């Protein structure tokens, strides 16, 4: 991206207020009938929504999402609960990462009644060679099913499938539980991913990205509800 600064491996856009962009996206534009009569409950709900939007924008304003991390381009889909990252390995392999927004949590009790919260992100990594259209070998992909924790990446499954398969066959053999594999084999798979930029650093990036996306989606969701009541 032209004109951006590289910060901690993340490409950021030139400074601009993401709150303004969100506001322009959720403002109700067009002609409204000023004679429309709203029930007291609708008017109250509108006020509550407007107040909550303003609070979210002031208290924890989201920032402009980054579009690159390391060798990967980030493809966000506003209004959806996932993002896609695409890149190439040094071996000219294709890499596609699908990551969902937070879908789990582990709470650990600490001393003096304090709690340590760990949010979970489900992600998959597809790695394949070639374009996947000329022969059966290039159509195959190695798929990793992973858990992205705040500071670590954890492999759950490894199996082969077609890289263009959105959902592998239900009866596809997906191998044993990763933790049941030989320890040296497990280390080998982690090293395989690490050399391709899929590692703990990526997991930490995704958590920061999803925290910000969660705030953006919340404000847009509130705005759409508010617009519906105003039309």
Q: Which domains does the chain have, with CATH numbers?
A: 5-28+37-63+211-230 (no CATH), 71-209 (3.10.280.10)
Residue 93's pLDDT is 93
Residue 42's pLDDT is 72
Residue 10's pLDDT is 43
Alpha carbon distance 213, 221 (integer Å): 12
DSSP-assigned states of every residue in 144-170: EEEEE-SS-EEEEEEEEEETT-SS--T
Alpha carbon distance 139, 118 (integer Å): 37
Highest-pLDDT range among 23-37, 53-67, 194-208:
194-208
Q: Tens of pLDDT along 45-104?
A: 888 988 888 888 888 888 988 999 999 999 999 999 999 999 999 888 999 999 999 988
What number is the average pLDDT over the span 185-214?
97
Alpha carbon distance 67, 151 (integer Å): 21
Of 223, 217, 231, 218, the closest CA to residue 50 belongs to 223
Q: Which residues contact 129 (CB under 8 A, 6 or more apart)?
A: 91, 92, 93, 94, 137, 138
Cβ neighbours, 10 Å, residue 176 = 10
Residue 15's pLDDT is 37
Residue whose token pair is 């059966």: 136
Residue 27's pLDDT is 53
């Amino acid at each position: 991206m032209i004109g951006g600064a590289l910060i901690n491996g993340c490409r950021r856009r030139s400074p601009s207020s993401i709150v303004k962009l969100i506001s322009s996206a959720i403002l109700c534009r067009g002609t409204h009938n000023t004679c429309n009569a709203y029930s007291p409950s609708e008017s109250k709900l509108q006020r509550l929504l407007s107040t909550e939007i303003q609070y979210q924008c002031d208290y924890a304003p989201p920032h402009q999402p980054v579009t690159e991390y390391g060798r990967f381009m980030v493809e966000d889909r506003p209004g959806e609960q996932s993002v896609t990252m695409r890149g190439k390995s040094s071996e000219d392999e294709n890499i596609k990462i699908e990551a969902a927004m937070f879908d789990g949590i582990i709470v650990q009790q600490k001393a003096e009644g304090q709690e340590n919260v760990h949010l979970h992100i489900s992600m998959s990594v597809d790695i394949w060679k070639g374009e996947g259209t000329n022969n059966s070998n290039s159509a195959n992909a190695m798929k990793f099913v992973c858990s992205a924790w705040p500071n670590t990446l954890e492999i759950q499954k490894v199996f082969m499938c077609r890289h263009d398969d959105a959902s592998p066959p239900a009866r596809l053999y997906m191998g044993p539980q990763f933790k049941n594999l030989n320890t040296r084999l497990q280390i080998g798979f982690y090293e395989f991913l690490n050399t391709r930029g899929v590692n703990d650093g990526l997991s930490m990036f995704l958590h920061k990205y999803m925290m910000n996306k969660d705030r953006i989606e919340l404000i847009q969701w509130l705005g759409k509800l508010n617009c519906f009541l105003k039309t």
